Homo-oligomer: A and B are copies of this chain.
Amino acid sequence: MAVSALVVTVGVALGADEHDVAALTHVLTEAGLTVAGRFAVDDDETALEHALAMEAAVIVVVAGSGSSSGDVVRRTLARVAGTRLVLNDRMLEALTERYRRRDRPLPRRAERLALVPQGAVLWLSPDSDPAFLLETPGRVIAVLPRGADLAAVAREHLVPWLAARTAPGETVLTRTLRTAGVSIADVEERLADRTARPDGGDATITVLPAGSGDFEVWVRIVARGPAAAETLARVERDVAGVLGEDCYGRDGETLERVVGRLLLDRGLTLSVAESCTSGLLGHRLTDIAGSSAYFERGVLVYSNQAKQDLLGVPEAILRAHGAVSAPCAEAMARGICARSGNPVGLAITGIAGPDGGTPTKPVGTVFIGVAVSGDVETRRFQFAGDRSSVKWQSTQMALDLLRRRLLREAPSRDAGR
């Protein structure tokens, strides 16, 4: 399937649809579809109608069926397809059962939710919110539920439906190589010849920023044609060779997942000491299922008193160098290892802003300490951007420093997986 798809979310607050869109894009891409764009509209029939007029073989509309967005979607779809809305008894039954199972009262106007455009294919299951699909001339429009069920419904119903109707023809394969600690300008320069002259027309290489600023840069490779698999493998080897150690992972691998795997492979456990990031580092590390195998504890030492109480940072260091200093970062990294008994310690102290900057230590000044089995390195960074951005970049660089440091440690022979 080399089908181009478009994802449209309806009536979702800005930023709240990211999880849904990411999960859906993952399923569609896995199935060989190209997600050409995503569009977010308010509960607005005109805006949705414009989105549905975009050129794409498949349009996936994601809307909360219980909210007013559902009404907008149903009405707009019926108009676009030139059909009527009809009350579907099977849909009503499925909805009633869903509400019953989840121990929630059926909304007053439940019949409204069971209105579907005539001719729609219904996907009903007691385990997920209902979904349906409508074929219009030249395209397919699927309406899927938001939230936890989205990926499952896409995988179980939409993908097989599309696969059954698409001629097994051109293959499109994509690979994303993820880098940390290098600027986009640097990656572009190193790959300039390759991005300018794609591989025989069968592969394209794109460099893209994966965050404001330069703190993560991705290289996307798309290969087409009957030999797509070989082309992709060859181009990936070539690009990975150029990127070297700067490439930390591929496709869905995050920096925190790669760091976790390196710790597991080396049989090492980690604890963290965070000042200016105050939890973001621990949060990222424990977003990985199974992280309790290597993440043991952490302390958020926002105040100087907390740095002394919980890490034993000497008052002399705080007095002579301040809390935002290399000696403090080192004492924090050593302190968390000593107090927790874990061999690896990661410490962050800095000024996230907007206040607290000085001429010698402006906002964005961050010191990171990495301790591995008693050996401590510290690094000073000067990050641009606002408070959130400085916090994110701090954790990004902390994870990347630890990653590069762990690559120099030998894997353990008996590391548990």
Please tell me if the beta carbons of A296 and B303 are within 8 angstroms of each other in the complex: yes
Q: Interface digits, A334-360 against B, CB 8 Å rule (1 contact, 0 not)?
A: 000001100000000000111100000
Please tell me if the beta carbons of A278 and B282 are within 8 angstroms of each other in the complex: yes
Per the bound structure, the CA–CA distance linking A281 and B302 in Å amounts to 14
Please tell me if the beta carbons of B50 and A55 are within 8 angstroms of each other in the complex: yes
Known: A206-B43, A278-B283, A298-B299. A147 touches B385 (CB 8 A): yes
List the B side residues contacting A25 at CB < 8 Å.
14
Contact-size category for A:
35 or more
The yes or no answer to A64 lying at the interface (CB within 8 A) is yes
Please tell me if the beta carbons of B40 and A36 are within 8 angstroms of each other in the complex: no
Please tell me if the beta carbons of A384 and B148 are within 8 angstroms of each other in the complex: yes
User: Contact partner of A13 among B218, B278, B283, B306, CB < 8 A?
Assistant: B218
Rounded to whole Å, the gap between the CB of A1 and the closest CB of chain B is 18
Query: Among the listed stretches A136-144, A183-191, A239-247, which one makes contact with chain B, having 4 or more residues with CB under 8 Å of it?
Result: A183-191
The yes or no answer to A286 lying at the interface (CB within 8 A) is yes
The chain A residues found within 8 Å of chain B, CB to CB, are 11-16, 18-22, 25, 36-44, 46-47, 50-51, 54-55, 64, 66-69, 104-105, 107-109, 146-148, 183-185, 188-189, 192, 195, 206-213, 218, 272, 274, 276-287, 289-292, 295-303, 305-306, 309-310, 339-340, 352-355, 384-389, 391
User: Contact partner of A391 among B67, B108, B283, CB < 8 A?
Assistant: B283
Q: A12-B210, A68-B207, A282-B300 provided; 14 other pairs, C-beta below 8 A?
A: A13-B210, A14-B18, A36-B47, A38-B40, A43-B206, A50-B55, A67-B207, A69-B208, A146-B209, A147-B212, A148-B389, A278-B285, A283-B283, A286-B302
Per the bound structure, the CA–CA distance linking A148 and B353 in Å amounts to 14
Please tell me if the beta carbons of B302 and A208 are within 8 angstroms of each other in the complex: no
Per the bound structure, the CA–CA distance linking A38 and B13 in Å amounts to 12
Q: Which residue of B lies closest to A272 (CB)?
A: B300
Q: Main secondary structure on chain A at its contact with chain B?
A: mixed
List the B side residues contacting A21 at CB < 8 Å.
14
Rounded to whole Å, the gap between the CB of A367 and the closest CB of chain B is 17
Please tell me if the beta carbons of A107 and B185 are within 8 angstroms of each other in the complex: yes
Per the bound structure, the CA–CA distance linking A258 and B210 in Å amounts to 31
List the B side residues contacting A285 at CB < 8 Å.
278-279
Known: A20-B212, A37-B40, A38-B40. A303 touches B292 (CB 8 A): yes
User: Contact partner of A297 among B47, B206, B303, B389, CB < 8 A?
Assistant: B303
Please tell me if the beta carbons of B310 and A302 are within 8 angstroms of each other in the complex: no
Please tell me if the beta carbons of A192 and B108 are within 8 angstroms of each other in the complex: yes
Please tell me if the beta carbons of B104 and A387 are within 8 angstroms of each other in the complex: no
Per the bound structure, the CA–CA distance linking A280 and B348 in Å amounts to 16
Please tell me if the beta carbons of B302 and A295 are within 8 angstroms of each other in the complex: yes
User: Contact partner of A208 among B43, B218, B306, CB < 8 A?
Assistant: B43
Per the bound structure, the CA–CA distance linking A284 and B278 in Å amounts to 9
List the B side residues contacting A353 at CB < 8 Å.
289
List the B side residues contacting A284 at CB < 8 Å.
279
Known: A47-B36, A67-B209. A286 touches B279 (CB 8 A): yes
